[in-house]
Amino acid sequence: MATSSNSGGIDPRGPRFGAGITATLMLVTIGLGLQTPLAQGGIVDRAGEPAFILLALLTALFAWGAFAGIKAHPYGILFATWVKPRLAAPSFLEPPEPPTFAQLVGFLVSLAGVILHLAGVPYGLVVSASAAFIAAFLNSVFGLCLGCELYALLVRARWVKGASA
């Protein structure tokens, strides 16, 4: 999916940078979620727990990336402003559609954790945050974007319209 002539492409190091931040915050969310009593109190009590608040924030960030686009995501802006100027030019650019789709997948996974936690499902938040952590970790450390791979499969199956070349 990578191209060297795509003027609308993005630096592939940007999503990896963001995935590193996400992986770290998801790990914190998991730790906080494991310390929280299981399904104690009402919905208002569960909504005030630190793990829930952090997962809700990460869910909002995923929504931002999914619906505003990866180029408008706060991590992308942070990367473009502070990190990218200090790096050599990338050897290739990638289309923004696969990472944007990956943000949508992250949004849906983390939203499931938010809903499960509010519904009082034991470890729902932890399982959801763990799935998101694994995906973010694989992207940040190994460059394996599971959401991007899912996007490619859906394009091949013609369930999603692919990025124009």
- pLDDT for residue 5 is more than 60: no
pLDDT, tens digit, for every residue of 146-160? 999 999 999 999 888
Give φ, ψ of 10 to 5 degrees: -120, 155
- pLDDT for residue 6 is more than 60: no
In 3D space, the residue among 41, 37, 43, 56 whose CA is nearest the CA of residue 119 turns out to be: 43
What one-letter code names the amino acid at 4?
Answer: S
Q: How confident is the model at residue 3 (pLDDT cuts 50, 70, 90)?
A: very low
Residue ranges in the chain assigned as alpha helix (H): 13-35, 43-47, 50-68, 74-78, 97-118, 124-137, 146-156
* The pair of three-digit structure tokens given for residue 19, joined into one six-digit string: 């995935």
Integer-rounded Cα radius of gyration of the chain? 17
Q: Is the pTM of this model over 0.85?
A: yes
- pLDDT for residue 124 is more than 90: yes
For residues 79 and 35, give the distance between their C-alpha atoms in angstroms, rounded to a whole number.
Answer: 32
pLDDT, tens digit, for every residue of 83-113? 999 999 999 999 999 999 999 999 999 999 9
Q: Are 19 and 136 in contact (CB under 8 A)?
A: yes
What one-letter code names the amino acid at 127?
Answer: V
